Amino acid sequence: TGWGVKLDYTWQKLYVAAAMNRLKSDNLSPTTTLTTPTPAAWTGAGGGTNTQDNQFYAGATYDFGILKAYLQYVNRKDTSTLNTNYFAKRSAQQIGVRSYITPTIEGWASWGNGKTQTWGASRPSANFVAWQAGLNYYLSKRTNLYGIYGANNLASSSVTNGAAINNAGFAVGVRHTF
């Protein structure tokens, strides 16, 4: 079972949107225990197994004329309907800007951070911070060259193992839409 709702509002150059979903899946067969069948998050049309999946999104954009700014927030929590000590949750927020530097060159930059916790009583978690910057060079309305550079830092605060992962990468290419 489930339901979802979305609200949005536009006022001149401001656009604000919020959405929320609540989805529940139960398998109440006589053989059901804490781990049989294993609680599983909703991953597609097939749904989850013995989970309550709550999702929330909010975002806003504002067009300042020379640049457009945006911010977003997402939150999702999947909780076992058999034992609420078993859950997975994540939340993140992002802020960014994009602007045309010349009539054919568009640039953007964004920064975000968040946290994730996984199933189980020990509740291992990880925090992340990421940023990205890029350029589009428009050859025509349907074709552009692009370059993107980004980096992230993931720090685990697991009870049994602490770890940090730092990644950076870039991409260059040509995009053509048909």
pLDDT in tens, 69-86: 999 999 999 888 877 778
Element (H, E) at 122: none
pLDDT exceeds cutoff 70 at 32: no
Report the pLDDT averaged over residues 27-43: 57
69's tokens? 């700014």
- For the chain, the average pLDDT equals 86
Q: Which residues pair with 59 in a beta bridge?
A: 17, 72
pTM of the model: 0.76
Q: How many CB atoms lie within 10 A of CB 109?
A: 15
Q: What's the DSSP call for residue 40?
A: B
Q: pLDDT for 130-168, tens place per residue?
A: 999 999 999 999 999 999 999 999 887 654 455 678 899
Choice between 116 and 121, residue whose per-residue pLDDT is larger: 116
Q: What's the DSSP call for residue 121?
A: S
pLDDT exceeds cutoff 80 at 33: no
